[in-house]
Amino acid sequence: MCAVALRQSRSGVSRVAGARKAAIPGYIEPCDPTLRENPPRGEGWVYEIKADGYRAQLHLHAGDVTVYSRTGLDWTEQFSSIAAAAHKLKAKSAIIDGEAVAYGSGGLPDFQQLRRELGRKRSERVRYHAFDLLYLDGYDLRDAAYEDRKRLLQELLRDAPQTFICVEALEADGDEIFAKGCKLGLEGLVVKRLGRPYRSGRQETWIKLKCKKSETFPIVAFVEKLGAHPRKIASLYVGRRQNGRLVYAGKVRTGYTETSARELRERLDPVIRRTSPLDVRIKKPKATWVEPTVDIEVEYGALTDDGLLREAVFKGLRDDLALRKVKAPRLVPSSAARPKLGVPKENVLQLLPDALVPSKEELADYWKRVWNKALPHLGHRPLKLVRHVHGTTFYHKGPLPKDIPEAVHQLRILKREGGEGTRLWVDSLDGFLGLVQIGAVELHPWNSTVEDFEHADRIVIDLDPGEGVEWKAVAEAALELRTLMKREGLDTWPKLTGGKGVHLMAPLEEPMLHDQAHRVARGLCSEFGARDPGRYILSARAKRSNRIFLDYLRNGRGTTAIGTYSPRAREGFPIAAPVTWTLIEKGIRPDAFTIDSPFRAKRRST
């Protein structure tokens, strides 16, 4: 129960003064407390503990739950454990203002722990600190008094799951409670004026008192850890906005985990620039400058006389502050241990622990650029998907998500091993965007169409080089194999895989059964490989060092290869690109095209 003596007048939301019958609104800009160094004087104020977490606005309506970040991003997936618990609330509709918090081993809110917990459906550490109720069962409560909103919140959460915590409002001496809170290691307090309505934006009726000096700063540069594989940052330079200008605020040297150092390096890669973004220039010879679009939370001991940070410690990325129209946060590399993050084991065909994936917004932007060129290659074909869900990247199998968009079509097939299965396929831009929505990163199409999925309409041979094979040797092999296939009546075109190899794509004039296509591909590879057994192999399990695997196994019912124009879950986000034989002869690299440059080859750095 909240400790303040709340108004015990009429029960029921309809009788609360200021409650207004209205349709449930969308995302509401939150009330933003004004930062002060000292508690306010006088009576009529109550004190709430300020937790170190992410501001989160929970919407419950007609059985659906959405959780928004501070700036209105849909973070339901990131706060999935909160969303799951919200279904058990005894309300038809509600909007709650609160803070997503994770408790560390010491029993206090831990911001870094919260970032590690994001997306875990069964997280036992995430809690939702609910401190205000803005809407309940058909009534907008923003014009109701603070204490009435608090009372209704108490009643709503009385029998709620343990994920929900009603933040207590305490009437006490301000100086005394602030001192005790800081002694306990709390981040701070929020002081709220009794009798006041809820208002969006910066308000003087809510006051923020912070025990620890912690602020949000934009990154302006990074120093890379030399020789690190994969790449990671060693330290960051941050700025602060002052009188309309961006000025240098200091260096953040500590606080990074191995994962966060790698995540920051990948996150900053696409925003690297040649010159400093600062309005007042400084000399930093080791700095790699970036656009000041990535914000981080920094805890610090004090400021120097020049206004620079002292004892600055990195606390975490402020992904929740990203604007809805800018790029969403880049997802971190997945980990082999992450099936626990909410991905059912029956959905994981193969984990990709070293994968790096673009954000959903980056993928959506990419498909909007290339969909009309990609559709002839990927449209109307059953698809195998590489998905990224709850921090895990994996080849999907088994049951599909329940919320598949309408533009993503479903094809029911009889599986070879028995039983019925479902494959997804698309025929429009909305279809590609729908796949992005369910976490699809890579698209691997069948060699047949949905109209005749039992017959292959093309043959694919993958030249996959082992360690020690130079790209020049792969290109030469592709050109020689093209000649052989031409002699057999198969015209081919090359597709760069976005990885290490190249695919020879051979459209069939007359479709054939998948088993027949498999036999044709194997026969071609066997004949070609016999020319130089020391150079080529036909078994994926053989020792592949210094040899090229002639992979004919891409042919067969249900077997696939990376689709033309599909992004790859690899560093730099290359794509599988269709090219000409002339470009192969000129030595075009297999990862020459990326989601940022799908039509013009990027120059290879030396």
Distance CA 156, CA 370 (A): 48
Question: Which residue in the block uniquely carries the two structure tokens 């610090």?
Answer: 300
Task: Based on DSSP, count helices (H) and strands (E) in the chain, helices before strands.
Answer: 10, 31
The end-to-end CA distance of the chain, in Å, is: 64
Contact between 472 and 563 (Cβ < 8 Å): no
Residue 141 CB-half CA count within 13 A = 27
Residues 6+ apart with CB under 8 A from 421: 412, 413, 414, 415
Per DSSP, the residues of 149-205 read: HHHHHHHHHTT--TTEEEPP-B---HHHHHHHHHHTT--EEEEEETTPPP-SEEEEE
Give me the phi and psi of 378, to 5 degrees please. -110, -20
Helix (H, G, I), strand (E, B) or coil at 229: coil
| Bridge partners, 578 (sequence order) | 495
Question: Which of 407, 403, 322 lies closest to 361, judged by CA?
Answer: 322
Distance of CA 155 to the CA centre of its chain: 35
Per DSSP, the residues of 430-460 read: HHHHHHHHTTEEEEEE-SS-GGGTTEEEEEE
Give me the phi and psi of 341, to 5 degrees please. -85, 25
* 50 given a catalytic annotation: yes
Q: How far is CA 251 from CA 136, 280, 396, 533, in A?
A: 46, 16, 42, 57
| Bridge partners, 66 (sequence order) | 59
Cα dihedral across residues 301, 304, 307, 311: positive or negative: negative
Give the pairing type, strands 420-425 and 409-414: antiparallel
Q: From the candidates 21, 50, 210, 360, which is the catalytic residue?
A: 50
Active site residues: 50
